[in-house]
């Protein structure tokens, strides 16, 4: 389908983008890689009057060490996250999971910040950031603020980013040799996950990326991988769609959590 008519403006700075967001309100949307927003526009599920293109703000594309954390610019391409030596060394879960995002074309164009800001519960990167307890930095008219991952994803395609704010950075702690695993079940290699697991965070098991808190509690209590995995869907509300029923997703969650915990070193 063809999107509704819209105006286009290429921002030359974060400050300019914030000013345009404040001026145009709900009519304006940010455009980075475009792989989240443009499909919605083609289906007429989103019809912004103004697209603010921030894709060429090179100052928001970087991966660098910051003490005991790794800072990642919001406009860093998935491919750069995937092949980063810094991330492979210090946060291998994020680099590995990003290598499973869609296909090479999407990974070379899509951005980590765009995926996170979109907040799709079926997307890989938001759940991984939740598992890593990432910290997100946004900038708006009132200045800069930091939002913890546990407070960031608020509803279906809803995040804590204010309408006049721009996501600028993702910060994750260095893993320090901790065990990790990323498991994903999909019908075809490039599809969205029917269910996925990033250590103790779940993909497509509710309206937002979710921590499997019952699994965490079981592990703290000394449960084995199998015992903890039986709690994989506790308190979660998996969707019912053409790809899978809630019951099937609960079964997949058990299987994938068990595999993830065993791969991460839980007996």
In the structure, what pLDDT confidence band is assigned to residue 191 with cuts at 50, 70 and 90? Answer: confident
Distance (Å, rounded) from C-alpha 61 to C-alpha 216?
33
Give yes or no for residue 63 having a pLDDT over 80.
yes
Q: How many domains does the chain have?
A: 3
The verdict on 47 and 62 lying in the same domain is no
- What tens digit of pLDDT does each residue of 178-189 get? 999 999 998 877
Identify whether 2 is part of a domain.
no
- What tens digit of pLDDT does each residue of 114-146 get? 999 999 999 999 999 999 999 999 999 999 999
Domain extent at residue 210: 182-263
The verdict on 37 and 63 lying in the same domain is no
Identify whether 1 is part of a domain.
no
The verdict on 85 and 109 lying in the same domain is yes
Identify whether 186 is part of a domain.
yes
- The string of DSSP codes covering 69-121 is EEEEETT-BHHHHHH-HHHHHH-HHHHHHHTTSS-HHHHHH-BHHHHHHHT-T
**Strand locations in 192-248, DSSP E?**
195-198, 201-203, 210-211
The verdict on 198 and 235 lying in the same domain is yes
- The string of DSSP codes covering 8-43 is EEE-SSHHHHHHHHHHHGGGEEEESS-TTHHHHHHT
- For the whole model, what pTM was predicted? 0.95
The verdict on 168 and 72 lying in the same domain is yes
pLDDT score at 110: 96
């Amino acid at each position: 389908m063809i999107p509704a008519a819209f105006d286009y403006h290429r921002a030359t700075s974060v400050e300019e983008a914030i000013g345009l967001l404040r001026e145009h309100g709900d009519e304006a949307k940010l455009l980075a890689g475009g792989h989240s927003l443009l499909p919605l526009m083609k289906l007429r599920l989103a019809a912004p009057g103004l697209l603010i293109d921030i894709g060429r703000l090179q100052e928001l594309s970087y991966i660098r060490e910051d003490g005991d954390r790794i800072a990642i610019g919001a406009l860093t391409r998935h491919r750069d996250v995937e092949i980063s030596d810094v991330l492979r060394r210090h946060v291998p879960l994020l680099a590995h999971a990003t290598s499973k995002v869609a296909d090479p074309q999407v990974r070379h164009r899509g951005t980590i910040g765009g995926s996170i800001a979109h907040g799709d519960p079926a997307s890989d990167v938001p759940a991984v950031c939740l598992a890593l307890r990432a910290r997100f930095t946004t900038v708006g008219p009132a200045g800069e603020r930091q939002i913890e991952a546990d407070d960031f994803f608020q509803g279906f395609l809803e995040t804590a980013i204010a309408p006049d704010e721009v996501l600028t950075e993702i910060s994750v702690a260095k893993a320090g040799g901790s065990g990790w695993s990323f498991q994903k079940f999909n019908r075809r290699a490039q599809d969205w996950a029917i269910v996925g697991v990033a250590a103790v965070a779940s993909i497509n098991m509710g309206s937002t990326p979710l921590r499997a808190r019952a699994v965490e509690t079981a592990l703290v209590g000394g449960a084995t991988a199998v015992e903890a995995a039986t709690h994989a869907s506790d308190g979660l509300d998996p969707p019912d769609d053409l790809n899978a029923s809630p019951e099937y997703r609960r079964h997949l969650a058990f299987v994938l959590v068990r595999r993830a915990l065993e791969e991460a070193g839980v007996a």
